[in-house]
Structure 1
Amino acid sequence: MDVEAVEGDITEQHVDAVVNAANRAMRGGAGVDGAIHRAGGPAVLEDCRRRFPRGLATGDAGWTTAGDLAATWVIHVVGPNRTRGETDRGLLTSCYRRALEVADELGARSVAFPVISAGAYGWPLDDAIDAAVETLRGTLTEVRTARLVAFGPTTYERVVARLAR
């Protein structure tokens, strides 16, 4: 699988699936979650309510329609909230691994990922990037392209540097 970096808005990616850094309730929120729900429109929330009436556990993944997004699917993952004491790195890497498993179930071959848990959930940026790259490169999958979408130049430069190692 090719792992690439782009700087930009995950909601504008032309891929089979975009990954949403969701909260456990799966009802929209701030950051990536809010952006995906706003850009995808009400169909995303309606599908979340229907498919995940009790939400998702931390480290798990599930899919919905992408609504008005360019992608076909949204793969929702719930990253660990370090600011609330969730410090198990295995939960973070599980998000990437489970997202790839869901992508394989859907037949998605191109998937755009945010850097999960590195925003409001307080995971240290460099370790969040390392977890993403290690897991994406180390997981057997039918996905051909995993795109790490960095929101802002600082994150983008760090992702590019990590991919070069």
Structure 2
Amino acid sequence: MPLFKFPNEVTVELIKGDITEVEADAIVNAANSYLEHGGGVAGAIVRRGGWVIQEESREWVRKHGPVPVGGVAVTSAGKLKAKYVIHTVGPRCGIEPIEKLDDAVTNSLKKAEELGLTSIAFPAISTGIFGCPYEDAARIMARVIKREAPGLRNIRRIIICLYGDEAFNVFSKVLSDELKEYKSS
């Protein structure tokens, strides 16, 4: 059920659960620059979707080089319900500026638009081993969505899928504050 709805019918949903089980055209992977998917969301995506995702990721890096912070790469989604995995590299807090998260979310949305997708699911990028606080990440993600959603042509559903209670509660509060004028009734 959508929490927020923009005038152009783009909806934003916040769900608690496992992003590898979300039904969306693309799920976003919080990746490292070399697209080696060992732990966290990345590891879960490969375990559930199959080794083909890791193989395609390595091939992408061989062809294009490491993904820069804020950049994206796309692979198939293997056995997942999604069609694609959009791998984005968020900032490592304390090493890169957290503002680079803006680029990661923006570029993920732009890539989904370019692919003609209608739905995309995000995890809490950079909040795991990259150490960014939930509140800061939620605020940046909300502001990007608020800025980008009105111009989206293909995407109709933006899903933010959070694994734990703490992340869910923080994101819920921040999104409610940041997107209050788009609150669904």
- 1:146 equivalent to 2:158? Answer yes
Equivalent-residue separation in structure 1 for 2:127 and 2:41 (angstroms): 11
- 1:78 equivalent to 2:89? Answer yes
**Paired AA for residue 78 in structure 1:** V
Residue of structure 2 equivalent to 1:162: 174
Equivalent-residue separation in structure 1 for 2:124 and 2:145 (angstroms): 12
Residue of structure 2 equivalent to 1:15: 24
Instruction: For residues 81-116 of structure 1, give each alpha carbon's deviation from its aligned partner in whole angstroms, at most 9, with x where no partner exists.
Output: 115x11x23311100000001101111111000011
**Paired AA for residue 149 in structure 1:** C
Equivalent-residue separation in structure 2 for 1:55 and 1:67 (angstroms): 22
The answer on whether the counterparts of 1:20 and 1:114 sit within 8 Å (CA) in structure 2 is yes
Residue of structure 1 equivalent to 2:136: 127
Q: CA RMSD in A?
A: 1.2
- 1:65 equivalent to 2:76? Answer yes
* Deviation of the 1:52 alpha carbon: 2.4
- From 102, 121, 135, the equivalent of 2:111 is 102
Equivalent-residue separation in structure 1 for 2:99 and 2:138 (angstroms): 14
Unmatched 5+ stretches in structure 2: 1-9, 178-185
Unmatched 5+ stretches in structure 1: none
* Deviation of the 1:163 alpha carbon: 2.1
Residue of structure 1 equivalent to 2:124: 115
Which one is further off, 151-160 or 98-107? 151-160
Percent of aligned pairs sharing the same letter: 36
Equivalent-residue separation in structure 2 for 1:61 and 1:2 (angstroms): 23
Per the normalisation by structure 2, the TM-score is 0.84
In the TM superposition, structure 1's runs of 4+ consecutive aligned residues that sit over 4 Å from their partners are none
Per the normalisation by structure 1, the TM-score is 0.94
Residue of structure 2 equivalent to 1:36: 45
Q: The residue matched to 2:99 in structure 1 has which SS?
A: helix
Equivalent-residue separation in structure 1 for 2:58 and 2:167 (angstroms): 32
Q: The residue matched to 2:121 in structure 1 has which SS?
A: strand
The answer on whether the counterparts of 1:118 and 1:128 sit within 8 Å (CA) in structure 2 is yes
Which one is further off, 151-160 or 120-129? 151-160
The answer on whether the counterparts of 1:59 and 1:91 sit within 8 Å (CA) in structure 2 is yes
Residue of structure 1 equivalent to 2:4: none
* Deviation of the 1:29 alpha carbon: 2.1
Structure exhibiting the larger radius of gyration computed from Cα positions = 2
**Paired AA for residue 87 in structure 2:** H
